[in-house]
Structure 1
Amino acid sequence: MIDPKKKQQILRYCAGQDRSHLEVRLKLIQLKVYGADLESILSELIQQDFLNEERFARSFVRGKFRMKGWGREKIGHELARHELSDYILRKAWEEIDEKEYKESARDQAHKVAQPLIVSRLPVPQIRKKTYDTLRRRGFEHDIVWDAVQGLELPD
């Protein structure tokens, strides 16, 4: 029998933001819910639409890209931790418009380069630091390369 208090807790946990099945499963284990009870609660959450992996993945991709400015590689590494199916991953990537993605990389390159230009660093160093920063944020090499080459730098 499932403790109503624990059930209420997990409902609040899922209502707060979209969650992956793995996150909810780990939370239930943390609440000491195991076996058939755990599977029963998961099933109920899915039926009541508290738990939807496609919605979670789309929301995750949208949020990490638009709010945190992450690139596809970094988002992909984080999504992999949630053990989502290939179908759901393909659907989630639809949330990023290619034009908007490249524009975001250019904007971020400009923001990173500005203080470096003001501090009068040599142009190769500005390009390298900007490139490295965007790569750490998860943007692909070719996207970063285009963004860095498009910077207006002093001669």
Structure 2
Amino acid sequence: MEINKSYTVNEAQKKLEHYCAYQERCHKEVRQKLRDMNMIPEAIDVIMVHLIQENFLNEERFAKAFVSGKFRIKKWGKNRLLRELKFRGISKYSIDSALQEIDLDDYYNTLDALVQKRMEQVKEPNVYKKKKKVVDYLLYRGWESALVYEKLGEYF
């Protein structure tokens, strides 16, 4: 993007329509993009309202797409998903609704696969150190500690 280029409200609106159509965006990302384009607060509000009314911007749809993608591709647990969505300023209702979309069987199977894979990767002769490394890995990825310890109980 060129430095200090100025946009009319219509130009900025068209640019942001493409930005939102390309992939789901949260309100925070779009506001930041408009600020980066040096738009005044009044223009930002007008464009945001337009994007929401025309359904280019939908918080609940963003939350569902985000949760689905990060769970399937990065294998994040619910704690990490929750934290990331809160950071993006998503409402509690949208977060809860998105997390409900995760199939519980898929969730447990994914955790099982992650534990098995990590157990094979960690080359540590000391059982306690190995267990700690696996636990740390899963907690970092946002898996609930009760589930992690229950799953690891099956191995140790």
TM range (shorter): 0.7 to 0.9
Any idea what SS the aligned residue of 1:127 has?
Answer: helix
Consecutive unaligned residues of structure 1, counting only runs of 5 or more, are: none
Map 1:38-53; keep pairs closer than 5 Å: 38-53=44-59
1:140 Cα deviation (Å)?
0.8
1:86 lines up with 2:81 in the alignment = no
1:121 lines up with 2:105 in the alignment = no
TM-score by length of 1: 0.88
Consecutive unaligned residues of structure 2, counting only runs of 5 or more, are: 1-6
Question: Which residue in the other structure is 1:135 paired with?
Answer: 139
TM-score by length of 2: 0.87
Deviations 1:25-84 (CA, angstroms, capped at 9, x unpaired): 111111111222111111111111110000000111111111101111111111111212
**What is the Cα-based RMSD across aligned positions, in Å?**
1.7
Q: Percent identity among equivalent residues? A: 34
Question: Which residue in the other structure is 2:102 paired with?
Answer: 96
Any idea what SS the aligned residue of 1:51 has?
Answer: coil
Contact between 1:106 and 1:148, CA under 8 Å: does it hold in 2?
Answer: no
Equivalences, count: 150
1:138 Cα deviation (Å)?
0.6
CA distance in 1, matches of 2:48, 2:80: 28
Aligned partner of 1:14: which letter?
C
